Amino acid sequence: MQARSSNFHNICNIAEKGSMHRGKIRRIILVVPIMIASRLRKCLFNATGLGAGILLALTTLAQATTFSSLGVAQDFGLLTLSGGINQSGNGSGNTVQGNIGVAAAFSGYNGSGTLNDPSNFDILTTSTFLDSANGVKGTLNQNLATNLLLLNASTAATTTSAWATALGLLPTASYGTLLNSTTISEKTAGEYVFDLAGINLAGGTLTLSAPVGSTFILDIGGAFNLASANIVLSGGLTANDVLFNVTGSGAVNLSGGTNPSTVNGIILALYRSVNMAGGLVNGEVIAGGANLSSGASIKDLPAVMTPETNTGLVLIPFVGAVLLFSARRFLPQTRQGRKNHA
């Protein structure tokens, strides 16, 4: 028992000696907890090689699955997870092109006025569907199969937000709250992550630019308000390449009256309500709840078809392989320690 204890301390001392990434690794641990004993976790994750290896593994995996992990959630133009949807309109401009889903229990959908919603309504069986609106309407699905679909979509959205948040701990660049027209541009194709304190634009434009094959993730922890403002894409970016991961509480507000706001990309705001008093989203809205009025429209774009990835199943062998590979650098010293102890 004493020999084992001594060896364990030797391993910890070896691992702790080259630590250069303590802060970063601890931040990753907070997001993706590894279920091992606390002392073993401390000694292993302070190791330079092992810590950097796991950090690289998590970053690579997250980048590879951030958008494909949306899975069936990509089938919706508007999906709410913790609240309902209120939609009112006065003509063909009030439209959601893409399925409308309510995955929140004891909530529902309430439509009024004249709307143009040609796709399916997928509503949880414990929620309500109240529709007094005129205009084009899709098919209502409210059964056990729909419940399963909504559960899968909700899980996929939550997983995607978690990965995007983890990536935001080591961003490509960080910005304060954007108050004026701003351009965020990258010259080479790649996966980019930006940490924003907030977006609060009145009449301005946020331009996102990168070559074909790039992806942008914008992690936004504060305000997200557009008043007669626009978020536009250039270079080779499309709405399917841009994810606004809006965390925290509050609301996402789009307004503008006769000069409505426009967003190009996927708005993922799990715990916020998206309020659109007019405005257009070319992409998708996944939120806590949603209120659409005054000509608000969402135009879902065809998703890029990628093989579905079960992030949880991939993570276990992937991180396991990194653990084994990185730990090998310590094995000779450990064996020598045992030999000397003997």
Distance of CA 301 to the CA centre of its chain: 18
| Residue in this structure with the two tokens 């630019």, named with its chain if needed | 209
CA-based nearest residue to 255, from 291, 219, 207, 301: 291
Tens of pLDDT, residues 195-231: 999 999 999 999 999 999 999 999 999 999 999 999 9
Side-chain half-sphere exposure of 200, counting CA atoms within 13 A: 10
Q: Say if residues 81 and 75 touch (Cβ distance below 8 Å).
A: no
Q: Which of 12-16, 93-97, 254-258 has the lowest mean pLDDT?
A: 12-16
The residues pairing with 129 across neighbouring beta strands, listed in sequence order, are 109
pLDDT at res. 200: 97
Quickly state the pLDDT bin for 91 (edges 50, 70, 90): low
Give the whole-angstrom CA distance, residue 199 versus residue 229.
10
Q: Max alpha carbon distance in the chain (Å)?
A: 85
> Which pTM value belongs to this model?
0.73
Computed from CA positions of residues 173, 182, 215, 164, in that sequence, does the dihedral angle turn out positive or negative?
A: positive
- Helix, coil or strand: residue 302: coil
Residue 5 has pLDDT above 80, yes or no: no
Quickly state the pLDDT bin for 94 (edges 50, 70, 90): confident
Winning range, highest mean pLDDT, from 22-26, 86-90, 231-235, 300-304: 231-235
Tens of pLDDT, residues 149-199: 999 999 999 999 999 999 999 999 999 999 999 999 999 999 999 999 999
